[in-house]
Structure 1
Amino acid sequence: MGDNMSDSDTLDHDSEREETESFDTEPHLNLYRHGRRYSLTRLEQHPWPIDETEKDRLEEQHVLLRELFEGRLYLAPIESPRNVLDIRTGTGCWAMECAERYPSSAVRGIDLVNMQDEWVPPNCEFWVDNLCQPGWHTQYTNIDFVHINQIQGDRQLLSLLLEGSNSCCAPGGWVEICDMTVQLDNPGEDSPFHKYIQEMTTAHARDGRQMDLPLHFGAELTRHGFINVTERSYDLPLCTEGRDKLKKRIIQNWTAGLEGYSFTLLEKHLGKNFTETVLMCASARRALQGKIEGYLQMSTGCVRTETGLAAFNDQ
């Protein structure tokens, strides 16, 4: 998108978080477009907003998913991890809560973009770094737990993260990845929501991404040399009528992010302008008030890095 800027687009150097600027490995430029803020420096790898609107949505999502996981921050059976990496940390809310729960631990949140708070627990720090580099993990050693957040269908990034995680974990360390995808019972239907998913699937593919990548976490972990992989999924019906409040709120939180999630990829790969994307997302949300058959699936993959040890049992 940086090569296709309009007169309404503006650039600015990131002047936030001077106190933690030393954690950045390079200066970052911001792009302002249609009232949203993006990282111009990392737009290819992270084509989604990094502004306060998106931060608020992601922080609410964290609270809702924690409730879905019955208060747990992770599903791996590790009671008090000492050294933790939170990869694709986003707003950093997971990393900060982990640091607060385990004050004797050292928690590092790592991401491509700067969305994290200035003020953090003393045992937590954030690094903005290029996770797309093969050697991203070399400065981290003896890690007890690697927590990988949503990677938005980027199979190449997933490979780099799994390879790096396997290298920097201590023997017997744990790796857990969590992400979400939409599963439609009848993907060929022509509702506005189905149309939205079809076009986003095309845009993802043209961007080198795979919308259903979370369904393949187990296979990817196995392909990268992990054994005894455990997968778990939570199915949240897209039709929220008659469903419990928590599942309904998770769906609402997800749909609130459709525009930010879609705009850059739809413009870049399908030529849609801002108005077209806004109208498409609004129509998709309205369609969800009907009887869309399918669900938003939360998928997790978890494995212990030491050969031969069994993965965790259902809790």
Structure 2
Amino acid sequence: MNDTLPLATPLEDASDSDPLDDIEEASTRSFDLALHQSVYRFGRLYSVIHRDQHPWPIDELEQDRLEEQSILLCELFRGRLFLAPIESPRSVLDIKTGTGCWAIECADRHPASTVCGVDLVKMQHEWVPPNCEFFIDDICQPGWHTHYKDMEFIHISQIHGDRQLLSLLLEGSYSCCIPGGWVEICDMSVQLEESGENSPFHGFFRDIATAYARDGRQLNPPLHFGTELAQHGFVNVTAHSYLIPLCTEGCDQLMRGIVRNWAAGLEAYSLALMEKHLGKGYLETILLCASAREALRKGIKGVLQIQVVYGQKPGFN
């Protein structure tokens, strides 16, 4: 059943109230409902607000996948939530927080800290630790960072190939980070050894690359994270790369789990953009994803590269 909400609800009759208060209340209520407005497309639930900037589902299926991904990455990082050399940051900003699971875990592990999670869309948990809070904000606009100040650590993930957004986020992060504070970016990309092959996986990958490019996105921004951090004024920039074979035969359970989780998201990555830019319908894209996963199971030469890059704002002692 579609749980789409109206953008606004009628105001109750309150003849003694101040008209300006009524207008402000109506505006606030309308904005709050807009954050929760959603629509079913391709059998998946999408947020209506900022749908061009976030053309990915926000339903329970995707939330579960993202939360599993966060657990797998934490295991890959040997139990660490971040790799930057800071032990217990007092103020943390988690940008593109998604379900908020990373921010919640960070708040639980560091009860003396204040953790803020921010994203374009509403898919965060309602029950959070007392030192954790979530905000829905248009982080695609210059000046988004003015709401967040004096951060010791800023965590950024899942920019989905948008280098313009990455630049805005790093510009804002530099402004709201304290001198000596750290910014860390984590994301993943696929590197194929034989990109010219004609397997269903290679065909799907070429299609999604075309769709992303027409949407102003790229598939390999993680390779440029270090350069972007340095260009935005950060120093002590350090990169860590984890190469997970796409052909998981002989790999341990963790590597197989990471690839399986990533492959489970093929529909989420592609449905909206394939339709918008390539004219592919729901059934065609579903079949392409299924064929790509089958080819992946048979063995594809290449790696899923998980890139973690951090840098420090200068001005520290």
8 Å contact kept, 2:267–2:286: yes
- C-alpha separation between the residues in 2 aligned to 1:223 and 1:248? 35
Q: In structure 1, which of residues 117, 128, 151 is the aligned counterpart of residue 125 of structure 2?
A: 117
Match of 1:13, as an amino acid? L
Equivalent residue number for residue 212 of structure 1: 220
Task: Select the structure that is richer in helix.
Answer: 2
Equivalent residue number for residue 34 of structure 2: 27
TM-score of the superposition, structure 1-length normalised?
0.90
Is 1:249–2:257 an aligned residue pair?
yes
- C-alpha separation between the residues in 1 aligned to 2:197 and 2:42? 31
Q: How does 1:182-221 map to 2 (within 5 A)?
A: 182-221=190-229
Cα distance per residue 1:23-77 (max 9 Å; x no partner) = x777233111132110121110000000000000001111111000000000011
- Computing the radius of gyration from Cα coordinates, the structure with the larger value is 2
Q: In structure 2, which of residues 305, 308, 311 is the aligned counterpart of residue 300 of structure 1?
A: 308
Q: In structure 2, which of residues 220, 228, 234 is the aligned counterpart of residue 226 of structure 1?
A: 234
Q: In structure 2, which of residues 4, 24, 34 is the aligned counterpart of residue 12 of structure 1?
A: 4
8 Å contact kept, 1:14–1:30: no
Match of 1:258, as an amino acid? L
8 Å contact kept, 1:227–1:308: no
Equivalent residue number for residue 89 of structure 2: 81
Equivalent residue number for residue 277 of structure 1: 285
Match of 1:252, as an amino acid? R
Aligned length: 295
Cα distance change, pair 237–134 in 1 and its aligned pair in 2 (3 A):
same
Match of 2:228, as an amino acid? E
Query: What SS class does the counterpart of residue 74 from structure 1 fall into?
Result: coil
8 Å contact kept, 2:233–2:313: no
- C-alpha separation between the residues in 1 aligned to 2:118 and 2:216? 22
Moved more, 224-233 or 117-126: 224-233
Is 1:159–2:151 an aligned residue pair?
no
Equivalent residue number for residue 110 of structure 2: 102
Cα distance per residue 1:223-265 (max 9 Å; x no partner) = 2122231111100000011110100011001111111111000
Query: What SS class does the counterpart of residue 225 from structure 1 fall into?
Result: coil
Moved more, 222-231 or 67-76: 222-231
- C-alpha separation between the residues in 2 aligned to 1:107 and 1:277? 38
- The unaligned stretches of length 5 or more in structure 2 are 8-27
Equivalent residue number for residue 44 of structure 1: 52
Q: CA RMSD in A?
A: 1.9
Q: How does 1:62-81 map to 2 (within 5 A)?
A: 62-81=70-89
8 Å contact kept, 1:25–1:129: no
Equivalent residue number for residue 286 of structure 1: 294
- C-alpha separation between the residues in 1 aligned to 2:165 and 2:2? 29
- The unaligned stretches of length 5 or more in structure 1 are 1-8, 16-20, 310-315
Query: What SS class does the counterpart of residue 236 from structure 1 fall into?
Result: strand
State the Cα distance separating 1:289 from its structure 2 match. Answer: 1.4
Query: What SS class does the counterpart of residue 63 from structure 2 fall into?
Result: helix
Cα distance change, pair 11–156 in 1 and its aligned pair in 2 (3 A):
farther
- C-alpha separation between the residues in 2 aligned to 1:283 and 1:225? 44
TM-score of the superposition, structure 2-length normalised?
0.89
- C-alpha separation between the residues in 2 aligned to 1:96 and 1:308? 28
8 Å contact kept, 1:236–1:297: yes
Is 1:126–2:134 an aligned residue pair?
yes
Query: What SS class does the counterpart of residue 185 from structure 2 fall into?
Result: strand
Match of 1:56, as an amino acid? D
Cα distance change, pair 308–108 in 1 and its aligned pair in 2 (3 A):
closer
Which aligned segments of 4 or more residues in structure 1 are displaced greater than 4 angstroms?
A: none
